[in-house]
């Protein structure tokens, strides 16, 4: 019996291809079918070397060009929310993953199929499990296990950016601030010490903190130090002996994780601070010739990326990377997510011009 696999026709126009990709359900951990389809379509192209790791596909040209670029996109989506199959409504293509990020994947697949001799060698990466815990991430696995496959002069991650170059990304650090007190019956509060009251100066310091907006490579980043969680309390008649504030620091990519932790410890000096989670940012790297040429081709001012994205994985390998894709990031993960078809066409055209022989 044959495996019921959707056949992907890479010769069709990029909008139809986007719709075809949306129609292959691929919620994180369920990427088998879409990965099989992508692998089969790429394996049919003689100018590409194709390898697969789990549900992650790597396809490379090996033309011996002076420069190599990575073009990457994840195949998975957030869970279905009554938003399948795809639906074209005027200029907009609706459906799960249309924005995040099957429009970008379609552009990359079209380039893979139609540019047998690009001006720069290309490594296409279509990977699994971006929308769930980082340990499952297919690009992360590749970076750990086969970093040589990601070696390049520049990388484009086709995450939704509204067809603007979003350069680098900020780092992120989470800490728990634990404030302690002493339990007592709330009718005899003076016999204890209220840990929730003792949190007041922690919050006040966060309120008073003035976030930096450093300029890097001509881009203005925007840091932030915010409480994202708070919990404390034992019972309705007990003076609480512990209160924990979870604080998230978003920091410009010019800082290391250690430097970021130092900033937070300085702001919250005198309190018990424990780092629970961190990820480094990624410098924009726009000075690199391949990046500069790409930015010029896009023709719009590049913007800083505030959120953390997988570009940081390239940055950690020493590869400058930007986000650039057709979707509007503000509709990602929404039930009514869509992608403007004009943006998909524009992205394909821009990248084709940049990579054209």
Q: Which is nearer to a copy of itself, 18 or 194 (CB)?
A: 194
Q: How far is the CB of 249 from a copy of itself (least distance, A)?
A: 9
Judge if the upstream peptide bond of residue 140 is cis by omega within 30 degrees of 0. Answer: no
- Cβ contact 214:228 at 8 Å: no
Q: Does the annotation count 23 as an active-site position?
A: no
Polymer length in residues for the chain:
357
Indicate the Cα dihedral angle 39, 42, 43, 47, nearest 10°: -150
Catalytic residue of the set 31, 36, 39, 76: 76
Q: What stretch of H or E contains 346? A: helix 341-355
| Residue in 100, 130, 223, 241 annotated catalytic | 130
On whether the CB atoms of residues 281 and 305 are closer than 8 A, the answer is no
Judged by beta carbon, residue 200 or residue 292, the one nearer a copy of itself is: 200
Q: Are 240 and 183 in contact (CB under 8 A)?
A: yes
Q: How far apart are CA 45 and CA 274, in angstroms?
A: 51
| Cβ closest to a copy of itself, residue 118 vs residue 253 | 253
CB of 227 vs a copy of itself, minimal distance in Å:
4
Closest to a copy of itself by CB, 62 or 276: 276
- Cα distances (angstroms) measured from residue 164 to each of 177, 282, 328: 37, 17, 10
- Closest distance to a copy of itself from the beta carbon of 225 (Å): 8
User: Is residue 76 flagged as an active site residue?
Assistant: yes
Query: Least distance from C-beta 332 to a copy of itself, angstroms?
Result: 10
Taking each helix axis from N to C end, the angle separating 103-114 and 32-43, rounded to the nearest 10 degrees, works out to 20
State in angstroms the smallest separation of the CB of 232 from a copy of itself.
Answer: 5
Give the interface with a copy of itself as residue ranges (CB under 8 A).
170, 172, 174, 185-190, 194, 196-197, 199-200, 203-204, 206-207, 211, 222, 224, 226-240, 243, 245-246, 248, 250, 277, 306-308
**Residue from 314, 342, 1 nearest 153 by CA:** 314
Q: Which is nearer to a copy of itself, 5 or 206 (CB)?
A: 206
What single-letter DSSP state applies at residue 7?
A: P
Catalytic residues: 76, 130
């Amino acid at each position: 019996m044959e495996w019921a696999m959707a056949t992907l026709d890479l010769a069709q126009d990029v909008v139809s291809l986007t719709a075809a990709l949306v129609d292959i359900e691929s919620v994180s951990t369920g990427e088998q079918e879409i990965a099989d389809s992508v692998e089969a379509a790429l394996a049919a192209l003689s100018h590409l070397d194709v390898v697969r790791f789990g549900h992650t596909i790597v396809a490379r040209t090996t033309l011996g060009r002076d420069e190599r670029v990575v073009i990457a996109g994840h195949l998975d989506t957030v869970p279905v929310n009554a938003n399948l199959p795809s639906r074209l409504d005027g200029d907009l293509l609706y459906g799960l993953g249309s924005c995040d990020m099957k429009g970008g994947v379609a552009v990359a697949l079209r380039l893979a199929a139609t540019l047998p001799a690009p001006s720069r060698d290309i490594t296409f990466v279509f990977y699994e499990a971006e929308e769930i815990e980082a340990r499952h991430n297919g690009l992360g696995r590749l970076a750990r296990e086969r970093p040589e496959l990601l070696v390049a002069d520049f990388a484009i991650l086709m995450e939704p950016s509204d067809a603007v170059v979003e350069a680098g990304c900020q780092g992120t650090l989470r800490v728990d601030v634990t404030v302690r007190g002493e339990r007592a019956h709330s009718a005899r509060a003076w016999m204890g010490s209220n840990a929730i009251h003792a949190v007041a100066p922690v919050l006040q310091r966060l309120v008073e903190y003035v976030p930096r907006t450093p300029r890097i490579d001509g881009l203005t980043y925007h840091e932030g130090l915010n409480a994202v969680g708070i919990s404390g309390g034992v019972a309705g008649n007990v003076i609480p002996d512990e209160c924990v504030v979870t604080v998230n620091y978003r920091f410009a990519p010019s800082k290391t994780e250690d430097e970021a932790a130092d900033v937070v410890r300085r702001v919250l000096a005198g309190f018990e601070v424990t780092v629970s989670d961190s990820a480094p940012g990624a410098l924009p790297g726009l000075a690199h010739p391949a990046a500069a040429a790409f930015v010029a081709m896009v023709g719009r001012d590049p913007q800083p990326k505030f959120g953390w994205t997988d570009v940081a994985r390239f940055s950690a390998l020493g590869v400058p990377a930007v986000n650039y894709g057709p979707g509007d990031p503000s509709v990602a993960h929404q039930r009514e997510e869509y992608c403007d078809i004009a943006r998909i066409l524009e992205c394909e055209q821009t990248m084709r011009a940049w990579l054209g022989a």
